[in-house]
A and B are shown apart, each in its own frame.
Chain A
Amino acid sequence: QSALTQPPSASGSPGQSVTISCTGTSSDVGGYNYVSWYQQHPGKAPKLMIYEVSKRPSGVPDRFSGSKSGNTASLTVSGLQAEDEADYYCSSYAGSNNFIFGTGTKVTVL
């Protein structure tokens, strides 16, 4: 059970958009619509930003959106703001009551 693959880093200027990919297999990302995304600021616990591929919990700005195509899920942050600078992790249900996380992406706001 290997971690889902994410790019180590991504960046954008304030107001721009950044998209982070999360690549798995047909046994996890591609097999279920249970992909979630978490934001983690330094020294803090992760925060749920997206669940079930594209749903946002209440309180999460609509600047955050999720999608999936085949074995790859994506998180897009539109209208980047300084507070969006953080680490982002994807996660997927992997069958047999297991879960798997992505390798993580550090988003920098230039």
Chain B
Amino acid sequence: QVQLQESGPGLVKPSETLSLTCTVSGGSVSSGSYYWSWIRQPPGKGLEWIGYIYYSGSTNYNPSLKSRVTISVDTSKNQFSLKLSSVTAADTAVYYCARGQLGEMATRYWGQGTLVTVSS
């Protein structure tokens, strides 16, 4: 059973860069059958897809966030990461990492989520 765990600072200052890492266990980020996603949810609001990466390093980002987002993968550590630059209070959210299944285009496995607050 694959498990995903987010880690990173819970507090980030405005204008700085938010950095999160997702550690995958019970499965490999090198598998060609999946895509590895970041999804966020502001407090009390709905889900927003941020982007995803394939094991090859190929990425796709939400057009509304594309200029500020970088997703990368480290196959040696079985991890993938999110960087979101120039953050504002509007970026305060629970950030989830997740695994999607190619062919289904759906996300079966999710991390527990981590709250990141943007505040000075």
Q: Does A72 contact B (CB under 8 A)?
A: no
Cβ of B45 to closest chain A Cβ, rounded Å: 8
A93–B108 touching, CB < 8 Å = no
Q: Are B49 and A46 in contact (CB under 8 A)?
A: no
Q: Does A69 contact B (CB under 8 A)?
A: no
Does A3 interact with chain B (Cβ within 8 Å)? yes
- Assess the A102–B46 pair: CB atoms within 8 A: yes
**In the complex, how many residue pairs between chain A and chain B have their CB atoms under 8 Å apart?**
60
Q: Interface of B with A (CB < 8 Å)?
A: 46-49, 60, 62-64, 96, 101, 104-108, 110-113
In the complex, the chain A residue whose C-beta lies closest to that of B111 is A45
- A64 interfacial by beta-carbon distance below 8 Å: no
Interface positions, chain A 24-43, Cβ under 8 Å from B, are 32, 34, 36, 38
A51 to B101, CA, bound (A): 10
Residues of B within 8 A of A93 (CB): 105
A12 to chain B, nearest CB (A): 22
The 9 closest A-B pairs by CB, nearest first: A51-B106, A36-B106, A45-B110, A97-B60, A34-B105, A104-B46, A101-B47, A99-B49, A93-B105
Establish whether residues B96 and A45, one from each chain, have CB atoms under 8 Å apart when the complex forms.
yes
Starting from the known contacts A57-B108, A103-B46, 16 additional A-B residue pairs (CB-CB under 8 Å) come to A1-B62, A3-B46, A34-B104, A38-B47, A45-B110, A46-B96, A46-B110, A47-B110, A48-B106, A51-B104, A52-B104, A52-B105, A91-B47, A93-B105, A101-B46, A101-B47
With both chains docked as a complex, state the minimum distance between the C-beta of A41 and any C-beta of chain B, in angstroms.
12
Size class of the contact patch on chain A: 20 to 34
Residues of A contacting B47 in the complex (Cβ-Cβ under 8 angstroms):
38, 46, 89, 91, 101, 104
Residues in B whose Cβ lies below 8 Å from that of A51 = 101, 104-106
Question: Footprint of B on A, CB under 8 Å?
Answer: 1, 3, 32, 34, 36, 38, 45-48, 51-52, 55, 57, 89, 91, 93, 96-104
